[in-house]
Structure 1
C-alpha cells in the first residue's frame, strides 16, 4: 500500500474520512473497528490526530500498520496504542472486527495525574498482546462501547472509570515489558519517564539538558546517568534523536521545505538544520526525502 500523500500536510483529523469535530462534552469515544475500515475497503491512508490517542483492539482478523517509521503486525487478541501526532496507516484483513477507542488529551492528562507518568501515551506506538487477560479486556471494552452509545445517568463518570481501568492494565503491561514488575516504579525510572514525557512535549523548543534536569528535580549529571543506564544514550543524545525523528517524519509525510522544518524545530537557519540532520543520519535532508518511497 502506498503511503504517499498529495497534500503539503498529512491530514490531521478527529474522525478519519470526516470533517466532524470531536464532541467536546465527551472525552472518550468508541466505535466498531469495521465501521470505518469497511467504508474504505479496509485500507486507511496516512493521517494523524491532533489531541486524540487511539487504542485499537482486534477481536478477530488481523492487520498491518505503519506508524511513523515503524511497521507493525497486529494479530487477533492484540491491543495497539497510537499516541496523538503519530502518522499512521492501516491495511486490515477483510471482515476484521474489534473496537477503536478515541481518548482526548484532557482525559489522558487527568489519568496521568492519578496513576503517574504514562510513557506509552507519548511518542511511539505500542502493541500489547492480551494473553490471559483477553476475557477481562473484551468485557471492559464492550461495556465501555455500550456506555458510549447510551445515555445513562452518570455516563461521564462511568466512562472515565472504565478508561482508568484500561489505563491501569496498560501501565502494568508496560511495566512488565520493561522488567518493572512492581506496582510503583523505581524512583530513577520514574524520573526518566518524566524526562521522556517533557521531551515529547517540548522537543521543538530545543531546551538544554539543564532545563530538563531542573524540571524533573535532578542535576544534569544525574539525568545523564539515568539516560545512559536505561537508554544507553546521553540526555543530549536523546534530545537530538527526538529532533531527528520529528525531522524525518516531516520529510517523509509532508512537502515542507528544509527551511520550514528548521524553523518549526527551533533551528537558527536551514544550513544549521541540514548539518545537524546529516551528522545524525548520514545523509542530507534532501537526499533522505528522495530515498524514502513514502515521501509525498
Structure 2
C-alpha cells in the first residue's frame, strides 16, 4: 500500500487536540486590522496561519522566501514557517489575521496563496463572527463548536485550489469526497463509508479498485495510516491520544493494527 493513495490525497487534514489544560484564548488569536493600525503580530509558533487581505498588502517571509499578498487575496501557511512580518503601518494592511496553535488544532497546511472573491470574504467574516461569539459560551462546549467552525473556514478557503487540482490531476471527485469523510470519521468500516457515499459495498469496492488497484478496506487503512504516521511524527501526542483521535476503541487495538501494517508498534515507529 501507499503508492496510489499519495496521488489521491486531496486535502490538508485537521484534527482537534483534546488537551485538558487548553486555554482557548491563548491557542486562538484573531486580529482585525484596518488601514495599517493594530497591534504588532507575535512570532508564530507551530500551528495554522490564515491571512485575508482587504486592503494594502501583507508582506512576510514564508520558509525564508519573500511572500506578499494584496487586496482580494488569501494566505494559508504553517505558522512556524512565517517570519519577518512587515509593519502594517508600512504596508497599510487591512484585513483579518487568524492564528490557531497546534495546541488546539493539528494542521498539515501547505502554503496556499490565491485570489478570493468578495462573496468568499463575506462568508469568511460571517464564520469568524460566529467563532468569536462562541468565546463567551461555557467552556465545556465551546472548544468543539469552535473547532468545527475553524475546520469549515480553512477548508472553505482552500476550496478553489482543490477544484483546480481535480482538473489537473484527473482524480475522480469520488476520491476527494472519500478523503474528506475519512479525515472526519477515520478508522471506520468500509460499509460505513459506502453508505455515506450512497453506494452499496460492492459498488464502493469496485470504484476503489478501478482507480487505485486497492480494495476499499486497503484504501481506508492506507489513508488512516498516513494520518497516524503524521501525528506520531509531527506532534507530542501519546499513542493513546492518537488512538482516540483516529477512532480506535483503545490503544491496544490501535497498536496491533499499526504493527500489522508497518511491522512496528507506534512507540517504536516514533
TM-score category (smaller protein): 0.5 to 0.7
SS of residue paired to 1:75:
strand
Are residues 79 and 277 of structure 1, via their aligned partners in 2, closer, same or farther at CA, if it must alter by over 3 Å? Answer: farther
CA separation in 2, counterparts of 1:218 and 1:262? 28
The residue aligned with 2:140 is none
The residue aligned with 1:223 is 204
Tell me, yes or no, if structure 1 residue 248 matches structure 2 residue 229. yes
Correspondences of 1:147-166 after superposition (within 5 Å): none
Q: Structure 2 regions of 5+ residues with no counterpart?
A: 1-17, 100-106, 130-153
Alignment partner of 2:50 out of 47, 55, 58: 55
Correspondences of 1:88-107 after superposition (within 5 Å): 89-95=80-86, 99-100=95-96
| 1:37 and 1:44 in contact (8 A); partners too | no
CA separation in 1, counterparts of 2:241 and 2:193? 26
The residue aligned with 1:23 is none
Q: CA-atom RMSD, angstroms? A: 5.2
The residue aligned with 1:193 is 176
CA separation in 2, counterparts of 1:127 and 1:57? 14
The residue aligned with 2:267 is 286
Alignment partner of 1:213 out of 194, 205, 218: 194
Q: Structure 1 regions of 5+ residues with no counterpart?
A: 1-7, 21-28, 49-53, 66-71, 104-122, 150-165, 290-296
The residue aligned with 1:31 is 32
Give CA-to-partner distance per residue, 1:148-207, whole Å, 9 cap, x none: 89xxxxxxxxxxxxxxxx9988544421222179xxx99x62x4333222222211xx32
| 1:10 and 1:254 in contact (8 A); partners too | no
When the two structures are superposed, what TM-score results if normalisation uses the length of structure 1? 0.49
Structure 1 residue runs of 4+, over 6 Å off? Answer: 33-37, 166-169
